[in-house]
Every structure is written in C-alpha cells, then in structure tokens.
Amino acid sequence: MTAPQAHDSTARLLIVGPQGSGKGTQGVRIAESYGIPVVSTGDIFRANIKQGTPLGQQVTEILDRGDLVPDELTSEIVRDRLSQDDAVNGFLLDGYPRNTTQVAHLDAFLAEQGHALDAVILLDVPREESISRLTLRATEQGRTDDTPEAIAHRLDIYEQETAPIIDVYDERGIVDRVDGTGELDEITDRILAALAARGLRLAA
C-alpha cells in the first residue's frame, strides 16, 4: 500500500465508531470539509427500499428472513456507488467494510483504480458513554426497543466485528484514533488535525 502523497488533494476515508459515537454527524462534517460524499451502506439500503427498486426488494426479502445482507451484494452496491462521478476524487465510507471479507473486496476495487484508503478515523468513545448517549436518544425519540440490554448487545457485535478490521488497517499504519468525547467542534478539529498530519488537504 502506498502512502498518500502530500500534494494529493483527494481523500479516501473510512470512519468507524460504536453506536452513539457520533460518527454519522462527524462523517458529514469531515466529508464537507474535503468536498467528498459520505457513502453509507445503511443510507443506500434504506433509499432503495423506500424507492422499491429491484435492489431494495432483494434487500427487503433478505432482512425479512432475519438474515444479513451478503458481503458480495453489499460490496457490489458500494462499488457501484464509488464508481459515480462525485466519488472520483474521494469519499468517506460509513458502515462499510464491516468485516475482513469486505475489507478484501474494497482493497481489490481500489487497487483496480490504483488507489488505497488514505486513513481510517476511529472514534474512541468509552462503552459507558455510548450506552448513556443511546439510552438518552431512545428516551427522547420514544424508542422502546432500545433497552439497555439491546444496546449492550449491539455494542458487543460492533466490538467483535470491528476489532479485526482495525487490526488489518493498524498493520498498514493508517488508523487515526480520535477521542470522540467532548463538544462536536472539538471532535471535528481533532479529526481534521489528524488527517492534516497525513498530508490530506481540505477542499479549496
């Protein structure tokens, strides 16, 4: 893997963090700073389901069976999205890759284009903080399914799924661990500072 060049104004990023870490909010801020789109598998799936597209119907059938969307289908959707014009100069991935199989799929796709991920932003939030934020959000939104047990289970799955991915990217030296606690602006500044240290330049 080649390191990003200092003169390269593109940014190919992945943001990772547990539920309640604020990665959705920070992802949008970072993407805007670099003039790149946020590519969220969850958003893509929901949009297709809402529009009733063939893909949406396929995903709905899978989810209705209680199954996870297969890695190959998820990767195909992401490859299609990353091939669109607005993602030519970079993107910020949110929710993909979720496992080492998807990491391999993404590597292969980017390698075909002569690219690689520039950085992986890992929002570091203590488990207690995540649970506290999610519990508060559930109360505010009246989400009765977000019980403390359900929240803890989702965090367990995240930790099991994500740890191997972070290990892979850690070996490549592209993980920036960022303190995800504090004010929104403070967290954004920490992320931008970490990316600037890699020579990634903001959009003009």
- What's the maximum distance between 2 C-alpha atoms anywhere in the chain? 50
- Options 154, 177, 198, 201, the catalytic residue: 154
- Options 12, 98, 133, 190, the catalytic residue: 98
Instruction: Respond yes or no: is residue 98 known to be catalytic.
Output: yes
Instruction: Respond yes or no: is residue 127 known to be catalytic.
Output: no
Instruction: Respond yes or no: is residue 137 known to be catalytic.
Output: yes
Cross-strand bridge partners of residue 177: 122
Instruction: Respond yes or no: is residue 23 known to be catalytic.
Output: yes
- Options 29, 127, 137, 177, the catalytic residue: 137
Instruction: Respond yes or no: is residue 29 known to be catalytic.
Output: no
- Options 23, 81, 133, 190, the catalytic residue: 23
Residue 151 near residue 21, CB atoms below 8 Å: no
Catalytically active residues are: 23, 98, 137, 143, 154
